[in-house]
Amino acid sequence: MKKCVLFYFGLIATLLWGACNKADEIGNGILPADDIPGLLFSDTASIVSFCITDDSIKSGGVTNKTFLTSVNPVGAQNDATFGTTVAGLYAQVDLSKTSFDFGTNFIADSLVLTMAYKEVFGDTNSPVTFHVYRLNDKISSDSIYFTSKDYFTYNAQEIGSATVVLTPKDSTAEFGVKRAPHVRIVLNPTLTAEFAAKTQSNELKINDDFLNFFKGIYITADIPTAAGSGFIFTLDYKSVASRMALFYHNDAGDSAVFAFPFNDYNRVNRFKHDYSGTAIATQLADSTTGNEYSYLQSLGGLQTKIKLPNLKDYNLTNKRAINKAQLIIQADNSEVTKYTAHKTISVFTANGSNQITDKFRILPMAYDSVKSQYIADITVYAQQALTGKYDDLGLILKANGALVNAYRTRLFGNSPIDKRMKLKLYFTEY
């Protein structure tokens, strides 16, 4: 008898996938799904959603190879919805060549930091002021660093600054060679002179000696004063246009350049978020408030906790088997003109402390830009929660690629009725 029942359930599921999805149009309540005998449908399950702070993200170091990336976010935003964000970067630069001969009668012209970028998030038409400082501490390739902590001290006297408006489509010529669009910060003459004085010594000939002399840089940015202004770009550290560069000339005549490229491993991001005065701050203080929206934010910002408090009630009067469970998550598309919604997000099970567990994870959900929504298939989770196999402590929505992008997404929560989060359940009774 059990085999027959299982076969019946399997047959029903097969018919469901092959049939036209007329059940999507059925409306509220538990109703029969059209054309499929015995199959019921409901989209009235209660959903509670609210934002929580994200876990800190690992960044930099050989021991963190899983977290190494070819880009690092840098910049600052003043977001009317998500508050302020600063993406800073601690970075080591190295000698591009050892035992280099700077020629006869070397004269330093300037020392310049350039940062090529791949993506830009926010308002590229508004200016952002960047500051560069000299590190007092080395970055260790054997240490584990997190983006929410300050591990390094730096000299309070900045070595360079620039106010920048990005021009992503414009290239810059250097000695007649076009370079990718980049941020350019001329460093101060005092540091240039200090570098020039070392050209005949080991500090500019042997990399270990250079790192004892110049341990690295800290790049940060001022928060723009106007709401809705500012940007964060992703530094493409592998680009030939990303480096510190000493421009000089000698008796050979023409100007020349010696590069100090970014180190492959020793780049550590520092992300700072401030939600003061926003609806997010209110919701973080009291998860029962402002539930018409929830929020996702990269750079170690925000996650969304989801609870399905009455899911087990579907088994109170009749035994039911869930054939399909879809979580429909609608994004507020009024926010995506300037601020890009996350391309993909993931769903995880949560524990009692709102931490992610490894019991359940679905494949990343792609953003449907036409419908402004994400759809998560949580069939396995819903069935296990229904039967009590999982101690159902809720789900967590998490941004993918949170270390390498500055996406932020406002999600509809429990209202309005046509855009609220929904759990679509297709099930059979036995």
For the residues 121-146, what does the mean pLDDT come to? 94
In this structure, of 26-40, 170-184, 288-302, 327-341, the range with the lowest mean pLDDT score is 26-40
> With 50 as the cut, is the pLDDT of residue 58 above it?
yes
Label residue 181 by pLDDT band (50, 70, 90).
confident
Q: Give the DSSP H or E segment for 379.
A: helix 379-387
- Distances in Å between the Cα of 101 and the Cα atoms of 20, 167, 173, 196, 200 are 74, 36, 25, 13, 8
393 vs 99, higher pLDDT: 99
Q: Which two tokens stand for residue 248?
A: 């000089």
84 vs 391, higher pLDDT: 84
Are 94 and 266 within 8 A, CB to CB? no
State residue 29's pLDDT score.
47
Q: Write down the domain spans for the chain.
A: 8-44+292-429, 57-274
Length of the chain: 430
In this structure, of 16-25, 227-236, 246-255, 398-407, the range with the lowest mean pLDDT score is 16-25
> With 50 as the cut, is the pLDDT of residue 10 above it?
no
Distance CA 146, CA 269 (A): 8
State residue 255's pLDDT score.
86
Strand 107-122 to strand 182-186: parallel, antiparallel, or no bridges (unpaired)? antiparallel
The 10s digit of each residue's pLDDT in 398-420 is 999 999 999 999 999 988 889 99
Q: Which residues contact 399 (CB under 8 A, 6 or more apart)?
A: 54, 296, 297, 298, 301, 303, 342, 345, 405, 407, 409
State residue 320's pLDDT score.
82
Q: Indicate the average pLDDT of the chain.
A: 86
Label residue 212 by pLDDT band (50, 70, 90).
very high
The 10s digit of each residue's pLDDT in 257-290 is 999 999 999 999 999 999 999 999 999 999 998 8
Are 83 and 269 within 8 A, CB to CB? no
CB atoms within 10 A of CB 4: 8
147 CA to centre of own chain: 12
Are 148 and 76 within 8 A, CB to CB? no
For the residues 156-163, what does the mean pLDDT come to? 98
- Dihedral Cα 148, 153, 159, 160, nearest 10 deg: 10
> With 50 as the cut, is the pLDDT of residue 15 above it?
no
Distance CA 76, CA 223 (A): 5
Residue carrying structure tokens 């949560």: 350
State residue 6's pLDDT score.
36
- Distances in Å between the Cα of 381 and the Cα atoms of 255, 361, 366, 391, 400 are 65, 9, 19, 11, 20
Helices within 205-316 (DSSP H only): 207-213, 279-285
Does the pTM surpass 0.75? The reply is yes
DSSP 27-57: -SSSEEPTTSTTEEEE-----EEEEEEPPP-
DSSP-derived letter for residue 10 is: H
Where does residue 98 fall: left (phi above 0), alpha (psi -120 to 50 degrees), or beta otherwise?
A: beta
Q: Give the DSSP H or E segment for 4.
A: helix 2-18
State residue 352's pLDDT score.
83
For 281-314, letters b (16+ CB in 10 Å) and e give eebbeebeebbebbbbbbbbbbbbbbbbeebeeb
State residue 339's pLDDT score.
87
406 CA to centre of own chain: 5
State residue 351's pLDDT score.
86
Upper half-sphere CA count for residue 373 (Cβ side, 13 Å): 15
> With 90 as the cut, is the pLDDT of residue 103 above it?
yes
Distance CA 283, CA 292 (A): 11
For the residues 36-58, what does the mean pLDDT come to? 86
Q: What's the CATH code, domain 8-44+292-429?
A: 2.60.120
State residue 314's pLDDT score.
79
State residue 225's pLDDT score.
96
For the residues 245-265, what does the mean pLDDT come to? 92
Q: Which residues contact 202 (CB under 8 A, 6 or more apart)?
A: 209
173 vs 213, higher pLDDT: 213
For the residues 301-313, what does the mean pLDDT come to? 90
> With 50 as the cut, is the pLDDT of residue 17 above it?
no
Are 241 and 183 within 8 A, CB to CB? no
